[in-house]
Every structure is written in structure tokens, then in C-alpha cells.
A and B are shown apart, each in its own frame.
Chain A
Amino acid sequence: MAIESVNDFVVRFANVNGSGSASANLLFARAVMRMGVPVATRNIFPSNIQGLPTWFEVRVCEQGWLGARGGADLVVAMNPQTWDKDVASIEYGGYLFYDCSRPVPASKFREDLTVIGVPLTEICNREYNDARQRQLMKNIMGLGALSAVLDMDVSVIEALLAEQFKGKQKLIDANLKALAIGRDWALANLQCPIGLRVKQADAVGDRIYVEGNAAASLGAVYGGATVCAWYPLTPSTSLAEGFTSYCKRLRGEAETGKNKYAIVQCEDELASIGVVIGAGWNGARAFTATSGPGISLMQEFLGLAYFAEIPAVLFNVQRGGPSTGMPTRTQQSDVLACAYASHGDTKHVLLFPRDPGEAFEFGALAFDLADRLQTPVFVMLDLEIGMNSHLTRPFEWDDSRQLDRGKVMSRADLDSGRDFGRYLDVDGDGIPFRTYPGTHPSRGSFFTRGTTRDAYARYTEEGGPYVENMQRLLRKFETAKSYVPAPLLDSAGAGARFGVLHYGSTAAPMDEAIDMLRRQGMQVDVMRVRGFPFSRDVDDFIASHEKIFVVEQNRDAQLRTLLMTEIGASPDKLVSVLHYDGSPVTARYIARAIAELVARAETPAKEGALS
């Protein structure tokens, strides 16, 4: 039986890197959204510029689930290299769309599939003489044919093309022509529509469609960042590039044409974090964008920033590790490397956004937190959030909000005779005052160093002042608990025995997984951790459940380790659900794992096997 589904299916485009397919694929996704149907899109790409296979996955889902679903109902197979794997990935009874210009032996198909062959190359060769044009127009022509078989409103695609090439009528005409050729051929020669259809709906609302890295970089603009120092590193590069383009647009000085920002592409990640620390020390808001290998290189400097108490913001767009690992795949495997970055006793503040919306929000917030806490703050993105466009609620900004620069003594403060000790805890919250260099001719200067010193920043190797300072840093970290975004609780109602803890990009599949579980009658409470150090709500959540399933996208259950180490959660209570093959975790995977664990927990004999 062929799959029948309206507004709920997965299309996977299998392409060759560099073939120009990306814009046609994106156009398809945006057309579905314009028809009011939510989509969740993912790029699956290699560490390569041209020639290797790439995939673009579009999950069409009127219900609004935005996580990866797994499997594909329709594969648009444009890459002979991956044909076998692509055909094998289609769900039973699914559809295969391919370029039938060259014959493919019958053994290369599956009997359960509906095969849709369109002679795209042949038509293109007939219509166009130029090789590049043949290539590019083939993609648009394919989209035209696809729109016919999926019963899409072609006027939506036409409108999008007109917007995309605004002011370039020649290009618009050429694209419209190709689109029509493909569509007309399909309508004349194929059974249209197939069992999968896109129908006009109203489920997108005012949401925007944007990449997490772009959103985070816009957050940095709104957070008042003026200095960005970075080193190109997948998957973080587009964050620095996003900051560059948003600054060009939003941060010019109208009268002079000069820039209210400075962006430095450094020689390495050591220099990047060094520049950030120097700028932070000198009172500018500064950040770097990096990924795991960069975090490894920055370790020594991060200890300095922790110990010397210098604000810094790091966007860590996590990828598969260790080492070079899987540079173009997603993971949440830098949690511990960031939480405890550097030698000696250190702890760092982490923020865990779930999507581009929170990447913007936390991106801006991180700069206030770094200034208020005078310490590095890590915004823990990952490739799944950072390099894919997601539907997310529109960005919001409260114009009455002011940038919070934290405890800084001004020249007037110093003149008034206030006692200034750079590492003096005057308020009991562990956070001392600082001064910016150049503030006062005779007061408030101090020497910043990574060596031990007393509350007045005077060098000392005495044990007493050292311990006092280390204790104060712990007090400061305690204060941070109430500064970081609070965890969000999704309660199943009173008395649920099991709880789920998760964070970051696991949120989208988790929403769907919990829906699946609850519809199966399984009552679980869910808490999404949004910051580290953990708020006391996390302790309470763990305490009030029999078992906690900690869902993470890494091998070593890193958040679980943090929970045990930092809030003394019992290892017996915390049961891991781990997914770390580099693909984003799916709702199916989570729901299946939790259902199984719940079933085992409810069978007392097998209790021991859980931990």
C-alpha cells in the first residue's frame, strides 16, 4: 500500500555538494511554509566543498513537530553515488522521485515504492545550451514537477521566486519558465497528485524561519557586543559571519560611515579568546564563536578569565567529537569541557538554548550575565540548532530594557571615597566591583593577573587569602544560579513517578516524544534545563521523582555527571537515554527508549538493571 498522508510526511533530497540544489530545496521548504504548513528542515552535509553527497530533509508537519522524525516518505534521488542507500531509507510504501533520463535497472528499485521518473536532464539538454544553466535549471524544473505531484499551490513558488530575484526580471523569467516546464511535464505525464499532498493550512502563524547561528549573532548585536574575535571553524563560522552582516546593517554610524563594532578574524582560537578577554577587561562587550576543538585550545585562557574575573562570551556550536570527530554532525558533547574548562578548580556558566528563538534571547542575555558575574559565559548551541533553519517564534525586544554592565565603579564612585578592592566581596554575593582602565588618575587602578592575590589585587602566595578567594568564587557561582534562565517544567499532573531532564536541541523531538508517551498513557514530568549552575528547581525535580531519565546527545552522559557532581543527585536515580551518532535525536528514539525504561522500572525484578 502506498503511503497516504496530507501535510505530514518527510521528503529527503539527495544531492551532490556544489550542484546548486540548495536554493531549489530551500524554495520547496519555504513554499510549504507559505502554504501555512510548518516544516522542519535539516542539512546533512560532509566536510567538503564540491562533489560529495549532501541531503536536505524537509519534514512537513501540520501538527508542528519540529524535531527530526527519522526515515523518509519521499526521496528525491539526484545523486547516483548514494542511490542504494537513499532507496533503502524510504519508508515502506513510500515514493521515489528521480531523473529517468538514463535507464536505471529494475533491480535498483523496490517493489513497494511508487516510482516517479522525470527526464529532467533530457528536458534540460533540449531547452538549454549552457552547461551551468542546464544544471541550475534542472533543480527548478524538478521543483516544478514535485509541486505537481504533491499538489502544491504553484503561485506560492512563483511569488517566492519573484521575491528572491527582485529587480532581476531576466532571472525571474528564466526560473518561472523552468518551473512551468517541469510542472507541465509532470501534469501531462504522471499520475498527479500522489498519496502525499500539501494542503493549504494555517499552522505557521507569525513564526520566522532562521538559522540558530544567525539568531545568536543577532542576539550578540542586541546584547551590545562590540568586539568579535574568531577563527573559522565548522559549525560556528556562520555565527561570526552573521554578526558581520547584521553589524553592517545595524551598527554603522550614520554621520561618519564608521563602524560601532570591531571584528577580527584571528590566527587561531587562542588569539580569539585572548582578544575577547582583553576587550572584556577594558570594558567592551566581546565574544567569540567556536566549536569543540576551539574550546580545547582556549583552556588556559578560560582559567585566567575565571580566576581574574573577566567577562567573556563564547558561543560554542557543538559538533561531533572527540578530536576532529564529526565536524559536520551534531552532538552535545562539550558540556563537561565547558563546565570545567581549564586546569585547577574552575566552574563556568553555561546557557542551553533550544532553538534559534532562544539562541537570540540567550545570545543577548549572555553579555549581561558575563558583565554581572564577571566571568566567561558559554552559549551552548550545536550544529542542529546553529546550521539549520528552524521555525521559531519571532524575535522580541523590550525597548525599555537596558544593558546591565554589572558592578563597575565610576570615577565619581572613586572620588566619593568608596573603598575599592578588586576582589573584595562587599555585597555578600561573591561579586566584587571592578574599574575600567583609565578611569581615575590616582584611584581604582589594579593589577590583573592569573596568579593569586588578596582582595585588593596585591600579589600573594599566602594560603589564607587564596582559600578565601576560591570560596568567594564559589559564592559567586551560587549567585549565578538565580541569574541564569530558570528550567522549564512540563508537568503531567500530580503524582507522576518519572521525570525527564533534557536540554538544548533535544527539546524539539522531546516535545513530540512526550506527546507520544502521554497518548500511550505514560505520565512523565519533563524539565528542560536552560542554564548551569543548576537552579534549585532541578534539585527539587529530581527529589520528587522515583527515576529521572536524562536525555542527552553524547556518549558519556555529561549532564548526568554534572547533576551528580554539582547537586549530589544519586546515580541510581538518574537513568541515561543517550543518542550520539551525529544525527539529531528523534522523537521516536526518545519515546521508545523511555517507554522501555518505564516498563522495566515497573517490573520490580528487573529494577537493578536500570542503573
Chain B
Amino acid sequence: MTYLPKPKFRHPSIEKNALGLTHRDYEGSISTLCAGCGHDSISSAIMHACFELDLPPHRIAKLSGIGCSSKTPTYFLGNAHGFNSVHGRMPSVLTGANLANKDLIYLGVSGDGDSASIGFGQFAHSIRRGVNMVYIVANNGVYGLTKGQFSATSDKGAKLKKGAVNTDDAIDLVTMAIHLGATFVARSFSGDKKQLVPLIKAAIDHKGPAFIDCISPCVAFNNHDGSTKSFDYVRAHNEAVNSLDFITERAPIMADYDPGQTQQVKLHDGTSILLRKMNADYDIHDRVAAINYLMKHDVAGEIPTGLVYLEDEPGDMHDRLNTVDRPLNELTDADLVPGSAALAKINAGLR
């Protein structure tokens, strides 16, 4: 981390979005993570995505559990309310927050320890419950804050710095998320901003549980030879199924496409995702094929990235619960309190 305060100076020609906000308006306080930490790149991607989507920062709620990853919400979107809850329990807190006000955007930031170990149950149930959220796991395969123990996403055979070898099987959160009913599932790499930013944008736009597993190397404890979550390893084994542009009506992006097949996916609200397919046969709408693909590449030691599964017309928890259109936290006494006349009727029925 740095102890130098950020200068307040802003250049007059600095880039502004449709709200007239600059990138600085999407920042938080200075990161206290290790220099070079992959998590800071994820924070940066979130800020970029929100800036580019012209989102008012205060309409976003950022929630996290405990761990290095869960510290990051302090470092982005300073004008958003944040909630650093307890270890492994961000999903339930986020679920409750979402129930209270369906109009905010919910960003859940978690880590591999937080989501695949202590919070595996809550991860699973928030997804199967259909909570409208962007659930990002900053996945580094180790416990950073407690100095480098294996986590449940560490690959079998992976080595710790001091030589210890992981003998347990790894949990693949991407496969799990698809299996559990997430309607937007992606994997990315904190070192690939070009892929990550549009994924976050599309995930925010998605109504339903959107899950992004973001491999984010731990420079302090898991970036050495023998690690399967190091920068070098991930770069060497990254098997992108696609890369995408998220296109809003306001700002169609028609930039430099890599060669390959493209596919435009229209979304419910008029936006669309332009996919540049790296693998011509890969169908992002096929859930079974996605799980197959992931498992096949996992066995081969490859790390598939990109948007791996998308459901076009997802609903969310509020649809299932048939809640009113207004946020529950805005309902008034008149909405909520049935009054003495209703009570008299209830009394009469109890005699």
C-alpha cells in the first residue's frame, strides 16, 4: 500500500461520463492490499465498468464477507454504502439488502475462502434463490490475510511457497454456479482488464444471479512456480471461450474486433452483448454443454475464461416472491399497518 494521499487536482479536460462524473468519482479510499495484488485490478475494473455504464455510485450497494477480497469494497465507489459483514455470510446479508430495496444494484465481493469454504452454503443458496446481484469471487487459491494456507479452490497438486502440496480436490465455483442456477456465469482473470470490464458491465445489466469467478493471483503467497493461480500459470493456461463487448443503446462499441466469429446477444432491456467467439462451437446458452466443457478443460489443466453461460430471460427472487414494484423499504404506514378495523375482524374470528 502507499501512504501518499491522492492529489485532489483534476485536469479540466479529464474524461467525463453521461452523468458528468469522472473516474475519480468512482474511486474509494486508497487500497491497503499488497502492491501488485490482483484484487486491486478487480476494483479498478469495477470502477471502470460503473463509470462506463454511467451509474450513479450511490445507487450501488457493495457487500462483502471477510478476507483480502472482502476488504476491496472500501477501495472503490466511495459514495456507495458498503457492508463488510462476517466471514462467508455476504450472500445472506446481500439477499436481505436486496429484499429491502430492489432498486439498488448489488455487488457482492467475496474470495475463495469466503465463498468456497466457510461460505459455500450461502454462496449456493443465494444463487439458487435467484438474487439479482453481481457476485464476484476474487479467486487466488490461498488464504492471504492469515498468510497463505490452501483454500478450497486450490488445485490438487498445487504447491505452497514452502513446498507443501495440496492433496484435496478443488471446488470449481463456475461449474457450481451453473449447476445451482446462476443465469450469468463467467470466469475471468484480474490480469485481463479487456475481458473483465465488459463482463462486469454485462453482469450488472443482467437481472438475476450473475456470477464471476475472477482468478486473481496473490503476489505474496501464491505467485510462485508450482502454483496454479500465479500470473504466469494463468496466462499460459488461459483458454478463453469468447471475449465480449457490452453494448448499450447509448454507446454502441464498434471497436477493433479480434478475428473470429461474432455473435450478438440481445438482452431484455434493449442492450446487447457482442460476443467474439474464440471457440466457434461454444454455445453460451447450453447449460449442460457448458458444464461438460468446463470439466473437460479442467482435466486438461486449462482454465476456460469468458462468458460461459447466459440465460436470456431470467427472473429474480422478487419475481418469485411476487413483491410489489416499490422497494419494501419505501412502503408507508398506510401500506403496512392494517389498522384497528382489520384487527376487530381478527378478534371476532378468535372467539
Contacts and interface: CB of A to CB of B under 8 A. Distances in A.
B324 A256 contact: yes
Contacts of B92: 229, 266, 270-275, 278
Interface stretch (B169-177, B197-205, B263-271, B340-348): B340-348
A275 B101 contact: no
B100 interface: yes
A230 to B, nearest CB: 12
B329 A262 contact: no
B183 interface: no
Contacts of A440: 58
Interface stretch (B76-84, B150-158, B280-288, B292-300): B76-84
Q: Interface residues of A toward B: which range?
A: 35 or more
Contacts of A449: 83-84
Interface stretch (A281-289, A328-336, A462-470, A516-524): A281-289
Contact of A278 (B94, B318, B325, B340): B94
Interface string A430-449: 00000111111110011111
Interface in A181-198: none
B328 interface: yes
B327 to A, nearest CB: 8
A301 B125 contact: no
B100 A283 contact: yes
A306 to B, nearest CB: 12
A403 B332 CA distance: 9
B322 interface: yes
B254 interface: no
Q: Interface residues of B toward A: which range?
A: 35 or more
A138 B85 CA distance: 57
| Among A278, A283, A402, residue most surrounded by chain B Cβ atoms (within 10 Å) | A278
Nearest to B61: A437
B160 to A, nearest CB: 28
A222 interface: yes
Contact of B95 (A206, A258, A264, A395): A264
B258 interface: no
B331 interface: yes
Contact of A271 (B99, B122, B343): B122
Given A209-B351, A395-B343, A451-B84, A260 B89 contact: no
B99 A210 contact: no
A42 B145 CA distance: 54
Contact of B96 (A207, A222, A278, A399): A278
Nearest to B28: A447
A279 B100 contact: yes
B320 to A, nearest CB: 10
Given A282-B61, A445-B80, A270 B89 contact: yes
A304 B85 CA distance: 7
A450 interface: yes
Given A271-B125, A442-B58, A447-B73, A437 B101 contact: yes
Contacts of A399: 339-340
B323 A438 contact: no
B256 interface: no
30 contacts: A221-B338, A226-B329, A227-B96, A229-B92, A251-B336, A260-B336, A261-B328, A264-B99, A271-B91, A274-B91, A277-B85, A277-B96, A278-B94, A278-B98, A282-B97, A282-B329, A284-B100, A301-B86, A394-B347, A395-B346, A436-B329, A437-B80, A438-B104, A439-B58, A441-B56, A441-B57, A447-B73, A447-B83, A449-B83, A449-B84
The 4 lowest CB-CB distance pairs between A and B, nearest first, are: A278-B96, A274-B92, A284-B100, A437-B81
Interface of A: 33, 206-210, 218, 221-222, 224, 226-227, 229, 250-251, 253, 256-264, 266-268, 270-284, 286, 300-301, 304, 394-399, 402-403, 435-442, 445-451, 459
